[in-house]
Chain A
Amino acid sequence: MPVGVEEPKRRRRGPRARAGGPRYPGWLSLPAVSWYALFFVGPLAIMAAYSFAQTVGFTGVAFTWNLDNYRSLWDPLYGAIFTRTLWLSLIGTGLCLAIGFPFAYYIARYSTRKTLMLMLVIVPFWTSFLIRTYSWLIILDPGFVLMRALRAIGIGHGGTILFTEKAIYVGVAYNYLPLMILPVYGALERMDWSLVDAAYDLGDGPLRAFRRVTLPLVLPGVVAGSLLVFIPLTGEYLIPVILGGDKTMFTGQLIAQQFLEARDWPFGSAIAMVVIGALTAALLVYVRAAGKQEQYG
């Protein structure tokens, strides 16, 4: 019997508890959970095992269970790549915040057609990442209208930004912006703006009111948005390859290289493990901070 009946007893309705409705049995989750276990947890586990193995010959792998791959990561060459990736993720997150926050603020506070304006942000996000990225190949081309116009008014004097780190940052801000806007907007939408008015009445200036009232209240949204941008950026591959001309190496390319060219899968796995480890640590810090936030209301 797939569905049981719960006795019609009135209970408080939490967002999850569908009290009173039919109870769907837990085993309905089995197909999805098995799929996750087999094709998500399984691969990650094998990758973890690979990170302790060594390549033998051209394609063979011997499970030697030592830390050699991790030890070889202690090389200034890789250290530079990791540092650069960290900066990419941090600056990219900062860019999205700088562009996205005022935008979300405007929609949440002043816009009269909030859902439409928000949908217009979401829709491009669901289109092809690849196409959205390569479109900047055209726009940033020195021969295209934009660059010619910029040169005409004296900006960029002949220099090109395509295939430089600047182009990478343009692509990052462009592709990741919606991930920042949505959670920030979510937090701003729940804001009680009369609190800001109260701060004004009590003598705060706009900046002070923002810092003392608005910012603390929307901080969870800002942190959530920052994580949504920061996490995938640590493994970003397409943007540096397409817009950076594959000249500046980041962690994503380093991992891909081990699988596509060097064919050192164990070493590539070790790099990926480091990425996962760093992200898990960052997430744990966030979860603890968020837990505290909840405690204090």
Chain B
Amino acid sequence: MGKRILRAHAWLVYVFLYAPILVVVVLAFNRGRQVLVWEGFSLKWFGTALRDPTLTEPLRNSLMIAGGNAAIACVLGTLLALALPHMRPWLRVPIDALAYMTLVTPEIVFGISALIFFVQVGSWFGVTSPLGLWTVLVAHVVFNASVVALVVRARFVGMGTQLEEASFDLGAGPVATFRQVTLPQLAPAVLAGGLLAFTFSFDDFITSFFVAGAGTTTLPLRIFASLRFGVSPAINAMAAMILALTLTAVVVAYAVLRRTGSGRSTVIPGV
């Protein structure tokens, strides 16, 4: 009896989790101008969204930031994951704590502190308006390096050392071993971490909201601004495309991690 109630509850939770996403996607295909009234199937709003320069320019900005962010975060995060397991505890524990803090600090606190930092440091160097694409990029890398580090580290610790030892036994040096043995084994985790970092940055609102400055708009900022006038079909179409892109990235990341049997942790969801 209790089991059946629990199962019904579980189904309701899935409906709760997916219905809103589904509603946005379905309404993106609505022909009518009004969001709430279904007037038949049409793809026209996707065309409208992709021809609207006030949407495509933020889209380009978001893609550039998310891509650059993922690349930098992959390098920083992977190196950090490699270095941490062998560090002495008095060094490792604070660095670990710092990495976690970048993920758990309420984003609005980080957002405003980054804003103050960029403006203040800019003024010390005589730059009057330092905010723009690059400040968003720099701020995003802070927490995304931690995301990559978590994913890669789980894999690194979980993969054991037999192959690396074998490589040493066969006469390969440390650098050759890293290139030929360790890195190929880590690659799926680096890729997955990079995809998650891309998604995280692409979808970020709060941090970008504060450090983007007046002249720079990312896609989430643009969507937020348009909500003041209510939801529009073109915004729904753009949202559906964002969902498709990020869902693909996350599912690929997940599949890569599962296929290669990386370690799991529940510290941050999905990693």
Contacts and interface: CB of A to CB of B under 8 A. Distances in A.
Contacts of A183: 266
Chain B residues touching A, range = 35 or more
Contacts, number: 283
A21 B209 CA distance: 44
Contacts of B266: 182-183, 185-186, 224
Nearest to B210: A259
Contacts of B79: 28-29, 31-32
A107 B177 CA distance: 42
A64 to B, nearest CB: 16
A2 interface: yes
A22 B174 contact: yes
Given A2-B175, A128-B242, A36 B102 contact: yes
A46 B116 contact: yes
A134 B95 contact: no
Given A22-B164, A35-B141, A44 B13 contact: no
Contact of B243 (A50, A129, A131): A131
A198 interface: no
Nearest to A102: B9
A181 B236 CA distance: 29
A123 B251 contact: yes
Contact of B142 (A40, A122, A131, A137): A40
Interface string B82-115: 1111111001000100110110111111101111
A23 B86 contact: yes
A144 B142 contact: no
Interface in B40-94: 75-77, 79-80, 82-88, 91
30 contacts: A3-B174, A18-B157, A20-B161, A23-B86, A25-B83, A26-B83, A29-B79, A29-B83, A29-B84, A29-B95, A36-B102, A39-B141, A39-B142, A40-B142, A43-B116, A47-B112, A115-B258, A123-B270, A124-B17, A124-B18, A124-B21, A127-B246, A134-B239, A179-B269, A183-B266, A231-B104, A232-B106, A235-B107, A269-B116, A275-B106
Given A124-B18, A125-B270, A126-B200, 11 more contacts: A1-B174, A24-B82, A29-B80, A31-B80, A46-B121, A50-B116, A132-B20, A137-B230, A235-B108, A255-B109, A268-B112
